Amino acid sequence: MAATLRDLAELVGGTVVGNPEVCIRRVASIDAGGEGDITFVSNPKYLPRLHECSAAAIIVTSAVQAPGRNLLIAANPYLAFAKIQAFLQGPMPAPQGILPGVHVHPGAVLAEGITVHPGCVIGDGAKIGKGTILYPGVVVYDNVVIGEDCIVHSGVVVREGCRIGNRVVLQPSAIIGSDGFGFAPDGERYFKIPQVGIVVIEDDVEIGAATCIDRAALGVTRIRQGVKIDNLVQIAHNVEIGENTLIVSQVGIAGSSRVGRHCTLGGQSGIAGHLTVGDNVMIAGRGGVSNNVGDNQVLSGLPAIPHKTWLKAAMTFAKLPEMRKELHQLKKKLAEIAMQGKEN
């Protein structure tokens, strides 16, 4: 697709400095931009590169001045870039219906305007909403509900009874509704606890590639509206993730824990089981939560502690060998003083 700079400014609620009729066809990086491209600068450290940039237009804040350049002034250039990128990509592909090589159970209900690619299997009682796309190799078990305008990429498995909302994106090989890890001790052996609950994914959620979300042992594992989950994340049975939370790659959340709304869990962080994490909490990468956490906190480390405290501890860590040496010298000196006192 293509649009004028004026059109794009209207799209993102910005204003134009320069030629509003310049034609924009794609978004490019500040180094690769050329004719027909728009780029953006949200980090001040990249401002010196503006004079070398060849893009047709640049998205910046009102604080930036670049005489002779076509600028789109936006309060949040990064957000403006994302909206323009989505617009220039154009709408979803036109519906193609049920393509050859698909197995659909007679008891499944498929709405009009969907696309199901070869190799997909759709079970008895499954329901697929209008405008949804299933790419090759998707497996939908019995009684699954998938809403409207979803994108389900290759290799995704949605197991029995799980419910997917509208406008959900499931990246390749995501597994929704796998068995929770539940085993009852039986002497030296373990007896598998049947996992009879489901997973509910609400509207506007995105699940990353090879992420696993386990079904509940009883009841529901719930991913609430607007949650964004990166690749290679493990969410255990009966977990609940609050609205608009971000979960970065390789996070693990143990069973029956609750994460509040608008949280951010950094890469490789973890939450132990049966805990509650409040709203607006940030856990830094590799942070480990082992106790309940209240609202509006930033935590780091294992076990997770307030980020400012962790920074002080991290700065001290590098000095420990020197401090150990000094402590040894002090102990030796005190022993000498004590010996002198006995002699006197």
Instruction: Count other C-beta atoms under 10 Å from residue 285's C-beta.
Output: 14
> What is the pLDDT averaged over residues 234-241?
98
Band (pLDDT 50/70/90 cuts) for residue 129 is very high
With CA atoms as reference, report the closest residue to 221 among 210, 232, 235: 235
In this structure, of 43-52, 146-155, 302-311, 332-341, the range with the lowest mean pLDDT score is: 43-52
Does 2.160.10.10 match the CATH number of domain 97-308?
A: yes
pLDDT at residue number 42: 83
* Mean per-residue pLDDT of the chain: 95
What does the pLDDT look like over 195-234, one tens digit per residue? 999 999 999 999 999 999 999 999 999 999 999 999 999 9
Pull the structure tokens for residue 309: 């405290």
Q: State how far Cα 17 lies from the chain centre.
A: 35
Question: pLDDT at position 47, please?
Answer: 83
Q: When comparing pLDDT for 238 and 339, which is higher?
A: 238
Q: Is the peptide bond before 303 cis (omega within 30 degrees of 0)?
A: yes
The pLDDT of residue 152 is above 90 = yes
Q: Please say if the pLDDT value at position 296 is more than 80.
A: yes
Q: Which of 117, 237, 274, 307 is catalytic?
A: 237
| Amino acid symbol at 88 | L
What secondary structure, in 3-state letters, does the chain show?
CCEEHHHHHHHHCCEEECCCCCEECEECCCCCCCCCEEEECCCHHHHHHHHHCCCCEEEECCCCCCCCCCEEECCCHHHHHHHHHHHHHCCCCCCCEECCCCEECCCCEECCCCEECCCCEECCCCEECCCCEECCCCEECCCCEECCCCEECCCCEECCCCEECCCCEECCCCEEEECCCCEEEECCEEEECCCCCEEEECCCCEECCCCEEECCCCCEEEECCCCEECCCCEECCCCEECCCCEECCCCEECCCCEECCCCEECCCCEECCCCEECCCCEECCCCEECCCECCCCEEECCCCEEHHHHHHHHHHHCCHHHHHHHHHHHHHHHHHHHHHHHHC
What pLDDT is attached to residue 31? 87
pLDDT at 280 over 90: yes
Q: Is the pLDDT of residue 291 over 80?
A: yes
Residue 344 has pLDDT above 80, yes or no: no
- Domains 3-89 and 97-308 belong to one CATH topology: no
**What does the pLDDT read at residue 91?**
79
Question: What residue type is assigned to position 107 of the chain?
Answer: G
Domain ranges of the chain: 3-89, 97-308
Query: 119 and 102 in contact (C-beta within 8 Å)?
Result: yes
Concerning whether 237 is annotated as a catalytic residue, the answer is yes
Residue-level pLDDT at 269 = 98
Whether 226 and 204 have beta carbons less than 8 Å apart is answered as yes
Report pLDDT digits (tens) over 45-81: 888 888 888 999 999 999 988 888 999 999 999 999 9
Which CATH code of 3.40.50.300, 1.10.10.10, 3.40.1390.10, 3.90.320.10 fits the domain covering 3-89?
A: 3.40.1390.10
Per-residue model confidence (pLDDT) at position 40: 92
Name the least confident of 86-90, 130-134, 155-159, 297-301. 86-90
Residue in the structure block whose two tokens are 């004026």 = 6
- pLDDT at 259 exceeding the cut of 80: yes
